[in-house]
Every structure is written in structure tokens, then in C-alpha cells.
Amino acid sequence: MHKKAAADQGEVVVLCCERALKKGELGQEERLESGNLTVRSAIIPCSSKVEVSYLLRILEDGADGVEVIACPDGKCKFLVGNVRAERRVEYAKHLLERVGMGAGRLGITRAEGLSRKDVVAIAEKRAEQSSAFGPNPMKEERNR
Amino acid sequence: MSNKSGSRLDRVISSGQFAVTVEVGPPRGPDVDAFMQKVRPLAGIADGFNVTDNQTAVVRMSSIAGAKLLLDAGLEPVMQMTCRDRNRIAMQSDLIGASALGIRNCLAISGDHQRAGAGGKLKGHPGCKNVFDVDSIQLVTIIRGMRDNAVQQGGDPISPATPFLIGAAWTPFGPPEEFRVTRLAKKIAAGADFIQTQAVYDVPRFAEAVGKARARGLTEKTAILAGVIVPRSAGMLSYMDANVPGISVPPELIARMKASADPKAEGLKVAVELIAAIRKIPGIRGVHVQAIEAEGLLPDVLKAAGLLPRPEA
Amino acid sequence: MIIGEWKPIEETVKNLATHKKVLLVGCATCVAECAVGGEKEAETLAPLLRMALKKEGHSVEIATKTLERQCEWEFVEEIADSVKGVDAILSIACGIGVQALADRYQDKFVYPGVNTTSLAIREKPGLWTARCGACGDCMLGETFGLCPVARCAKSLMNGPCGGTRRTGKCEIDENIDCVWNLIVKKAEERGRLGDLETVRAPRNWGNSGHGGPKRMVREDLQS
């Protein structure tokens, strides 16, 4: 999860609920390349496991964008985990906005039956949204 | 309710005559000339002239200073004192000072919270500390103690006693509606000699509330002066109905003002009609007429209402 | 519980900008209950502040520690080692906690990250409302468990003012109940309206903060 990418490469972290994926599509933690973009994915048992602090820590570590993938409405194994996840993403976006980091670095996608390719496409979209704010200034801090 | 204060208002009320008080707003600066220019044409139109106390938490010349200026010009002032800005020490000190200056009528009210701040047009002081050391009913008891027993709230004496005709406010509408008459009873028990009510537009509803007060014997013990605010437009009435708690405006009245070609003239008519209807309510001993930021209208309204000239007293 | 809110981030950024190593200290009691200063919030605020500071051109290390309570010396002692290496402490506890840290770690700059606002209860998830005014002369037994000191905007003692809205809410905020309306209703329910007819005399505020900074002594509990 913490393999460092070159400073000029874009980086998006995807936190994906296991039920949103087709079975066996992705390993527990993976690194996917797509052109200049590095996508680091991690599978979580439910999108509600994501805390606001995790999202901010990931950005603090230098990722340019973070996407949470959650189940569609009504499909959450834990009933409203996906709803909670959405609220937390909203709150985290609000905090990013307040400090000028750019709310667009963060997002949530509701989906099911995703393939590896789908995940990469979602990450690319997030990278595009994040690019409006430039590369994450926190990348510089990695070597301290 | 004998003449405790030596004030004209006291004499008019005690002699059983229908009393008239009006309200003047002091200026937002020490402009004595402007204030006197506004006030001099009002000489003789009322038995008492209320000078507001930082109304809507907007800083203005103090009520006491305004009251003294009125006194010097031959108009009888009714000073107002809210509980928002002064603790009991300042209140009693100001009451002694006011008494020394010849002021003989005081209206004790809670006061608008500083967050009210003039409806957003002015900056006001929404961030100030408020006081509310005592409430308006407790303030009534304080003024009474200083008058009847020459004593301060804490027990120390004052010398001599401060003669005041004590007033309090009454808002008969608004939840908990049944309790509003009890609150009036408490103000009277505390020592309120006269009451000025929130502005009345719905006369039957007001009459019903006064009826309840009368049934409890309250209209004998105090002089209730019904509040009348001269309407200037349908917009003003709608605004007050929606935003001023305790003011209830019948939709027909708003429609009437809207339909009129000359709302200002219509407003004067409305005020005169309200006064006439209010006079018929048993237990009502006077009116308290206000023309906000338009005190110049007051002589015409009172004349048309048949309340001028004021009686000898 | 004591409740508060995060200070505006800009204010905290300004305070921390001149430092190199900061310890952000949370508290697991009152401020955790109101989702402002607990471990979760410490873990949220630390990265947020680092990013905010970096945006202003400052590289500041921010470590976190959360104590059970910042108002007890034995817990405050637990961070003694962590404090050694830092030049500033940011406390997201209430004002009491901030002062306890400042008292114990005298050679460090100690900043509050939270504005403490009130003694409140969590009415329901996401809503906290003031309940107690720490007035030192509790009258709840006379007002059917509803406090006019803390819940009436004017701390009235003898019933509601003329500012009660038609909806039964307070004139200063349409979301706040007129507590006197609630008190009268309760009195009606209990058949005790008569209790509210007595004119209550002016209060003695001397046992509250108005009487001076409180100092409470129990000789039987001294060591």
C-alpha cells in the first residue's frame, strides 16, 4: 500500500467494497498502472469501514485522489453502510475544500459486478477530477 | 391607584379618563436639535411620551437622556428600561438618577435579545454580553420597593424614595396563550400601575383576551393601554404578522391596505378605526399609539380619533 | 457533557505555522461524545492540518495522542515522553484540558484547537443542545425539569416574554423551543399551574461564575 511512485506520476487510491467487485477480480491490495497513472487498490469488507481520517491520511501521504467504491442503494450487506460511507466522503470533501486542497480529489462510486478494467476506469476519472488542483503538494513531504 | 408618582399620566389614569400615550424613538447620536424638532410638534397630544431603550438592541440616545430632553420641553416622558443591558445595580442607579431629573413614569420590559439587531440592516452588537440579571417582573418589584419602601433590592435604603408610575408590557397572543393572562396577573401583583400592550390589529381576539383579564379582576387593578401601530403599507403589516411575535394581523386588513390607492392615508384611517373599536372594550383604559420612524403622523391620528385636546389633569 | 466546535482551521494554521513539531492531543470523554476532540477527530484533524499548513508553505510534523480525559493529572502525565520532542501542543479538549496541559507542560506552547461552548446533551445523533448554565442555584425542581437559565435566551424567571413565536419557538432562533412554553405545558399536565403564579424574586447569581472564579474546597478530601 505504500510503494512510492515517481513524483511526476499521478496516483489514485481506490478503496473498494468486496461486494462491488466480480468475484476474484482483484487481490487484497494491488497496484495497477494506466499510462502515467498509478492506481493502488485495496479491498474492504464494507465501504462503511472507511473513516474520514483514512481518506485524509491517504491524501496526506501524497495520493492525488481517492475513490471509494460502494454498493448501490439497498444492496449493502450491512444495510446502510454505503449510506454512511457516502456521508463521510461528503464530510471529508467539505474539509478538503476548507483547506484549499480541492474537494474534487475525493469521490464515491456506487456500483456492483465491477471488473478490473472498470476499477481502472473509475480511478482514471478520479485522476482527471483531481488534476484540476494540480499534483498533491504533500508528495514533497514523503522524504522527510 | 392613587397618585403615587406625581405624574400627569398618573393623574389622568386615576381620574378615570381615557389615557393616551405615544412613543418616540431617540436619535442614533447626540443630535438634540433633530430630536427636539421631531418632538416639539407633539406637545399636548398625549398624557405620556415613551422614550424607547435601545429598541431592537440598536444603540440610541439613552431613554433617560431622551426623557429629560422631553421634560425640559414640557412633554411628560415615560422612560423605558429593558433587562438586557443593565444589572440591578445599574438599574437602581439609573432610576435614582432619572427620578432626580424629574422623570416620573417608567416602563419595565424584558428587551429584545441582541441577536435581533434591527432586522439585519444595521450591524448592531450581536456579539455583546447580555445581562438579564433580573427579568421585567422582578424589575417592577424593584421599582416598587424603591418607591413604596425607599429600599434597594439588596436591602439598603435610598433616601428619599423615588416616586414612579410603574408600567409593564403585555403580549396577549402567542403560546402558551392561556398563560399570558397569568403573566399579566404576575406583573400586576408585582406592582404594575399601567400596562401597554403589543400592537393590536385583531380586535375581537384582543377583546377576548382582555375579557379573560377582566374576569380575573385584573382590569380594575391596573390601567391597560392597548397598543396601536399606525400601518403604512400592506407590506409593513405582512412583515409584522410574519416576523413580530405577538402581532396578529387579519388578512382582510392586509388586503384592504393592498387594494388602497393611497396606503398611507388608508393606514391613518385604519389606526383611527382600531382606536375607536378598542375604546369599546370594557376594561381598556387608554391607548398607546406608535408611528415607527414617522412620529409626525401622531397628531393627525389622535385628532381624527377624537382624542384631542387632552383633558386637564 | 461539555461541548465545543473546531476552531476555524485558518486560526489553528496561523498558530502552528511557526512550529516544527506539534503534538495534537485529543480527549476521549466529553469532546469525543460530541465528535470534536476524540481519537477519531484527532486522526482527522492531524492530516488535515498538515495539508493546510503545507498549502501555506509550512512543513510541520503533527503527531497525535488521545488521553482518557485531559482534566485529570494522572492522564495528562501519560504524554510526558511524547511532549519532550515537540515545540508545541495543540489540544482539542475543552478549555479545562487545554489549561491542564499548559499547566503541566510549562515550557511548551499550548494552543486550543476547539472553541468550548456549552454544557449540553446529545438530543439525538448529530444534535446537541445546551441544558445547564452552571448558575449555582439549581431551580429544576420548580420548573419541572426544564432549565430557564440555560434554555431561555433571556434567562427569564417568571414566564415567557412576548417573543414566543406562533410555533412555540424562541424569537431568536426558530429551531429553539421557548422553554417557558414547555414549562407551562408541563405544569398544565401535572395540574400545577398554580406553582407558576408566584412572582419569583431576583436571583442570587453569586454562586456562579458571576460571583468570581469558582474555588471549591473539601477539607475532608485533602491529602
User: Where do you find CATH 3.40.50.2300 in chain C?
Assistant: 2-117
| CATH code of the domain containing A46 | 3.40.50
> How many Cα atoms are found within 13 Å in the side-chain-facing hemisphere of C43?
14
* Structural domain that includes position A82: 10-131
Residue A112 lies in a domain: yes
Residues 45-84 of B with CB under 8 A from C: 83-84
Q: Which of C161, C168, C184 sits opposite B179 (nearest CB)?
A: C184
Q: Is residue A1 part of a domain?
A: no
* pLDDT < 70: residue spans in chain C: none
Burial C167-193 (b: 16+ CB within 10 A, else e): eebbbbeeebbbbbbbbbbebeeeeee
| Contact status of B3 with chain C (Cβ, < 8 Å) | no
CATH architecture designation of domain C2-117 = 3-Layer(aba) Sandwich (3.40)
Instruction: Please report whether residue A39 resides in a domain.
Output: yes
One-letter amino acid identity for A19?
A: R
Query: How open is the CA angle B116-C113-C60, to the nearest 5 degrees?
Result: 140
What was the ipTM of the complex prediction? 0.94
Q: Reduced to 3 states, what is the DSSP secondary structure of residue A109? A: strand
Task: Quote the pLDDT of residue A1.
Answer: 46
pLDDT for residue A8: 54
List residues of C whose CB lies inside 8 A of any B CB: 153-166, 168, 171-173, 178, 180-181, 184-185, 188, 193, 196-197, 199-203, 205
Which pLDDT score is estimated for B118? 60
- The minimal CB distance from A53 to the residues C40, C54, C55 is found for C40
* Bridge-based pairing state of the strands C127-132 and A10-17: unpaired
Query: Is residue A2, in this structure, part of any structural domain at all?
Result: no
Structural domain total, chain A:
1
Following DSSP, what letter does each residue of B295-308 receive, concatenated? Answer: GGGHHHHHHHTT--
How confident is chain A (144 residues) per 10-residue block, as mean pLDDT?
A: 54 96 92 93 96 97 97 93 96 97 97 95 96 93 75
User: Which subunits count as partners of chain B given 3+ CB pairs below 8 Å?
Assistant: C
- pTM > 0.90: yes
**Per residue in C133-157, pLDDT tens?**
999 999 999 999 999 999 999 999 9
* Among candidate residues B37, B13, B74, B42, the one with its CA nearest the CA of residue B289: B42
Lookup: cell for B298: 401622531
Contact A99 C50 (CB under 8 A): no
Tell me the three cell numbers of residue B252: 382582510
- Whether C171 and C181 have beta carbons less than 8 Å apart is answered as no
- B211 CB-side CA count, 13 A: 7
- C8/A93 Cα distance (integer angstroms): 16
- φ/ψ of B18, rounded to 5, equals -70, 120
Mean pLDDT, 10 residues at a time, over chain B (313 residues)? Answer: 79 96 97 96 97 95 98 97 98 98 98 80 92 98 98 98 98 96 98 98 98 98 98 96 95 97 96 98 98 94 97 90
State the CATH architecture for B8-304. Answer: Alpha-Beta Barrel (3.20)
Please give the span between the terminal C-alpha atoms of chain A, in angstroms, as a whole number: 19
